[in-house]
Amino acid sequence: MIYLVLEVDLSPGQGEDVAAAASRRFHAALSLHRILKRSVDARRKDRVVIKYRVVFGADEGDRARLVRHGAEPWVPEQPERSAPAARRPRVVIVGSGPAGLFCALRLSERGVACTVLEQGKRVDERHRDIERLRADGTLDPDSNVVFGEGGAGTYSDGKLTTRIHKPGISWVFDKLVDHGAPPSIVYDAKPHVGTDVLSKVVASIRAHLESRGSRLLFGHKVDDLVVRNGTMAAVRTEKGEEFEADAVVLACGHSARSLYERLAATGIPLEPKGFAAGVRIEHPAEFINRSQYGSWAAQLAAADYRLTWNNPGSGRGTYSFCMCPGGEVINSSSEPGLLCVNGMSFAARDLPRSNAALVTTVGPQDFPPGVLGGVEFQRGIERAAFAAGGGGQSSPACSGRAFLDRRPSSSVPTASYRPGVIPGDFDAFLPAFLADELRLALADFDRKVPGFADEGTLIGVETRTSSPVRILRGGDFQSPAVRGLFPAGEGAGYSGGIVSSAVDGVRIADFLCQ
C-alpha cells in the first residue's frame, strides 16, 4: 500500500463518496486515507464543482499511472508537540476569549497552571442573559454578546479562516477538534464552527483546564494593575480582590472600554487604531444562495460572499465582513443607552436569512483627539443609533433601496433582529462620510449581485469590527512601560478573528515558558 495525493472534482449532489469517484476516474482501487482540502468552485454558475485534495491508499502497481495523472507522494506533517516549560511563572490571564483560552491551554499543556479572570459569566448563564436581551431589551453590561466565556467569537458564525501564516495554527485546529469541533475544519477551505458548537467547545476547554489545576473565575472584572518598580505584581478586580502574578496576559477583547480608560489613566502606552464601521445587511438566504450557486443552490450548504469597493476619490474601502449564512442579526451592545449589532450562525446555517456587515474603513483622522478617540467615535454612533431605535435596544432598519434612494422607510422591513426593528433614517445617526461611502459601495454591490439592494434590509449600526485601540508591546510581547504585562489578541490590537487571536495567545504562552 502506498499513499498518494490526488485532486478530485465532484458535482454537487453527485451521490457518491470521493474514493469511489476517484477510483472510477483513475481506474484504480483507491481507499480514502485523509482529506487535505475541500472547497466549492462557483466561478461558473453552470458548472459548480466541489474540489478535493485527498490522500488515497493505492496499490504499488498503480503508482506510475497515477503519477502520470498528477498524483504526488504524501509526506505526513509531523504533529506539533509542546515541550515541558523551562520555567513556571505565576500567570494571570485577563479575558476568556480565544487569545486568553488558548494561552491558558498552551500553558497547561506545558505544565503551567494559571488563573483566568473573566468579567462575564459561564457560557450557559451567558446564554440566558442574551436571551433576556433578545426578548425584552434588558442588557447586562457584564454578560452579553461581547463579554463572557469564550469572548465575542462565541456569538458569531465561528469562522476559522485566517490570513496569518504563523506556527501554532495547526495546533489550535487540533485542540478545537479535541474539544468538540467537527474534524472537517481541518480541511475545509472556509471552515466554520457556529455558535452552538463553539459554546460546547469553550465549556470543554474550561473543564480540561480546571482538571489540570488552572482556575477560571467568572464575574471578576479587572479594574486595575498593581505595578511595583516597573514590573507587574498583581491585578485588582472591581470587587477589590488582588491576584498576584509574575506575568499578566491582557486578553481583554475589543470592547473593554473601561479597562482601556484605566490603562490610559495610569500611563500604559496606547495608541488609537483604525477599524471599520457601518451597518448589517440581511437578505433571504435563498436569494444569496441562488446568487452564488445558481441552479446548484439546493444541493449545496448556505452560501457566503465577500464584496469590496474602493473609492478612488476618498481612498476609503468598504467591504462585507463577518458574513453569516443562514444566520441572524444580534445585539452586541455592552453599555446602557448605546446600540450596536453583529451577526451569528449556528453550525447548520439553516435559518431563512443571511447577513453580513457592510462597513467602511475609519482611522484616527476621523476620531476626536486622544488615544481613546476611536472609543468615543464608536460611542457617538451607537448613542445616536439607540435614540433612532426608540430606546429599549430596538434597532433602526430600512430597505437597501430606500437607503440608496435617500427616502424614508414607511414600513418595518422583515428582519431576524430581536427585540425588534423600527423604520429608521440612517442619515440621522451615521456620520455623513460613512453614509456616503456605504451608498457608493451598495450601488456597486447591486451591480455585481443584481437585487442586492432591493432584497436587502439594513440594520444598524455595526462598530465593533476590531479594537479602536492598540496596547503597545515590543518584540518580546511585553508593554514597553511594564515588565510582565503582555497585551494579547484582538482587544490589544494584534489580531482579528478567532484563529489569529488564539495563535497570539499561544505565542505568548510559549514565550512565558522559555
Of the ranges 58-62, 97-101, 365-369, 407-411, which one carries the lowest mean pLDDT score? Answer: 407-411
> In this predicted model, what pLDDT tens digit does every residue of 86-119 receive, in sequence order?
889 999 999 999 999 999 999 999 999 999 999 9
Residue 166 confidence (pLDDT): 73
Residue 413 confidence (pLDDT): 80
CA atoms within 13 A on the CB side of 284: 9
> In this predicted model, what pLDDT tens digit does every residue of 437-475 receive, in sequence order?
999 999 999 999 999 999 999 999 999 999 999 999 999
> In this predicted model, what pLDDT tens digit does every residue of 268-315 receive, in sequence order?
999 999 999 999 999 999 999 999 999 999 999 999 999 999 999 999
Q: How many residues does the chain have?
A: 514
> In this predicted model, what pLDDT tens digit does every residue of 113-169 receive, in sequence order?
999 999 999 999 999 999 999 999 999 999 999 999 999 999 998 899 887 777 789
Taking a C-beta distance cutoff of 8 angstroms, is the pair 238, 139 a contact? no
116 secondary structure, DSSP code? E
Q: What Å distances lie between residue 324 and 187, 241, 343, 349, 362, CA to CA?
A: 20, 40, 6, 8, 23
Give the whole-angstrom CA distance, residue 331 versus residue 75: 47
- Is residue 225 assigned to a domain? yes
> In this predicted model, what pLDDT tens digit does every residue of 212-271 receive, in sequence order?
999 999 999 999 999 999 999 999 999 999 999 999 999 999 999 999 999 999 999 999
- Is residue 81 assigned to a domain? no
State mean pLDDT over 22-33: 94
Residues 341 and 407 in one domain: yes
Q: What Å distances lie between residue 25 and 9, 33, 41, 69, 208, CA to CA?
A: 10, 17, 19, 10, 45
Phi, psi of 213 (to 5 degrees): 100, -5
Residues 394 and 341 in one domain: yes
- Is residue 371 assigned to a domain? yes
Give the whole-angstrom CA distance, residue 307 versus residue 385: 25
Residues 165 and 308 in one domain: no
- Is residue 183 assigned to a domain? yes
- Sorting pLDDT into bands at 50, 70 and 90, what band is 189? very high
Residues 125 and 107 in one domain: yes
Residues 288 and 263 in one domain: no
Residues 69 and 125 in one domain: no
Give the whole-angstrom CA distance, residue 189 versus residue 52: 10
**Grid cell for residue 47:** 458548472
Residues 458 and 495 in one domain: no
Q: Find the Cα–Cα–Cα–Cα dihedral 267, 270, 272, 278, rounded to 10°.
A: -110
- Is residue 56 assigned to a domain? yes
List own/partner pairs for 46-49 with CB under 8 A and 24 or more apart: 46/294, 46/295, 48/11, 48/12, 48/293, 48/294, 48/296, 48/300, 49/9, 49/10, 49/11, 49/12
Kindly report the CATH number assigned to the domain that includes residue 227.
3.50.50.60
Average pLDDT, the chain: 95
Residue 409 confidence (pLDDT): 79
51 is in which domain, residue-wise? 2-73
Residues 107 and 232 in one domain: yes
Residues 358 and 224 in one domain: no
- Is residue 246 assigned to a domain? yes
- Is residue 355 assigned to a domain? yes
Residue 452 confidence (pLDDT): 98
Residues 163 and 196 in one domain: yes
Prediction pTM value: 0.95
Give the whole-angstrom CA distance, residue 140 versus residue 142: 5
Give the whole-angstrom CA distance, residue 192 versus residue 482: 37
Residues 253 and 371 in one domain: no
Q: How many domains does the chain have?
A: 3
Residues 429 and 316 in one domain: yes
- Is residue 83 assigned to a domain? no
- Sorting pLDDT into bands at 50, 70 and 90, what band is 45? confident
DSSP result, 127-183: HHHHHHHHHH----TTSSSSSSTT-GGGSS--B-------TTHHHHHHHHHHTT--G
Nearest to 362, CA basis, from 374, 349, 379? 374
Residue 13 confidence (pLDDT): 77
Residue 167 confidence (pLDDT): 76
Residue 82 confidence (pLDDT): 79
Whether pLDDT at 15 is above 70: no
